[in-house]
Amino acid sequence: MEPEYYKGADAAVYEHAHGDIFNSIEQPRLRDMLHQAVTSIRTGTSQIKALDFGCGSGNLTRHLIELGAHTTSADLSDDFLRDIERKFSAGGLSETLKLNGKDLSNVPDSQFDLVATYSVLHHVPDYLAIVRELCRVVKPGGVLYIDHEATETYYQRPPVYVEFLRKARPRVNWRRFVSLLLDVRGYVHILRRLRDPRYKREGDIHVWPDDHIEWDKIEQILAGERFEIVAKQDYLLYKAIYDLQVYDEYKDRCMDERVLIARRRTQ
């Protein structure tokens, strides 16, 4: 069940490859939003228990622990989980959980004050079932945090967004070109992509105009599970390859990602 892409996952390589996550604009935005999520919790606890669902190399885990939360980092990848143990276990606020990719059947109801997931739902075949599972394990008064999932702008490509991408991205991305050339395992994926234009190394993911995360369905589930929306913010994701000046010019004009914070009603 572990996706091929994350087998033998090397956290340092993962973080180097994700200039869209590990950069000096996205990280402070993420930290501020997680802080808002933590301050929205109404469970009355003095020690927050958080779940980082699809933790990868510990992007959210690091922020959650810095915010004082005891954090369960959950993933399909044994390599990522080992890396999390190596990096975070000494502080006493970290534990890991191996996922099965389909549900959270080994987790009882109402376990966490905060359940957070970032850049994961579009990797999950039945992501709506997972949203229901994430709701199930939030305590009454607890908070669900969903971040780094695309908005309609990403798929519909309005003219202003196309203009932004044309101006912000380098004409030739030499760094990517060279890393592709040197990545011997990558040639197999290039060949597969030539055969099937929808093939993605990361597996069967929802990133296509006719098959992508539908926020209205997520919100319907949240309403049905008695969650109230505390914050919903669209933003233009900053990628390290972008021209910063162009990004600043367009960041309030087109937004391609969403973060949503919702709290489970207590009655």
Residues at the contact surface with ligand SAM, assessed by CB under 6 A: 3, 6, 21, 54-56, 59-60, 75-77, 80, 99, 101, 118-120, 123-124
Q: Find the shortest distance in angstroms from Cβ 237 to ligand SAM.
A: 12
Compute the CA torsion angle 28, 213, 72, 14 (nearest 10 deg).
Answer: -60
Spatial contact of 65 and 94, defined as CB atoms under 8 Å apart: yes
Cβ 202 to ligand SAM, closest distance in Å? 7
3-state secondary structure string across 97-150: EECCCCCCCCCCCCCEEEEEEECCHHHCCCHHHHHHHHHHCEEEEEEEEEEEEE
Residue whose tokens read 């359940």: 115
- Minimum CB separation of residue 93 from ligand SAM in Å reads 18
Nearer to ligand SAM, 27 or 226 (CB): 27
Would you tell me the crossing angle of helices 215-224 and 127-136 to the nearest 10 degrees?
30
Nearest to 37 by CA among 24, 23, 20, 50: 50
Closer to ligand SAM by CB, 78 or 163: give it.
78
Q: Which is nearer to ligand SAM, 60 or 222 (CB)?
A: 60
User: Of 4 and 109, which has the nearer Cβ to ligand SAM?
Assistant: 4
Judge whether 148 and 119 are in contact, CB under 8 Å. Answer: yes
* Least distance in angstroms from the C-beta of 119 to ligand SAM: 4
Tell which residue, 246, 243, 240, has the closest CA to residue 26: 240
**In the complex, what is the shortest distance from the CB of residue 99 to ligand SAM, in angstroms, rounded to a whole number?**
5
The residue among 6 and 161 lying less far from ligand SAM, judged by its C-beta, is 6
Q: CB nearest ligand SAM: which residue?
A: 56
Q: Which is nearer to ligand SAM, 43 or 93 (CB)?
A: 93
Q: CB count, 10 Å around CB of 221?
A: 15
Integer CA distances (angstroms), 45 to 31, 136, 139, in order: 21, 18, 11
Least distance to ligand SAM, CB of residue 83, Å: 11
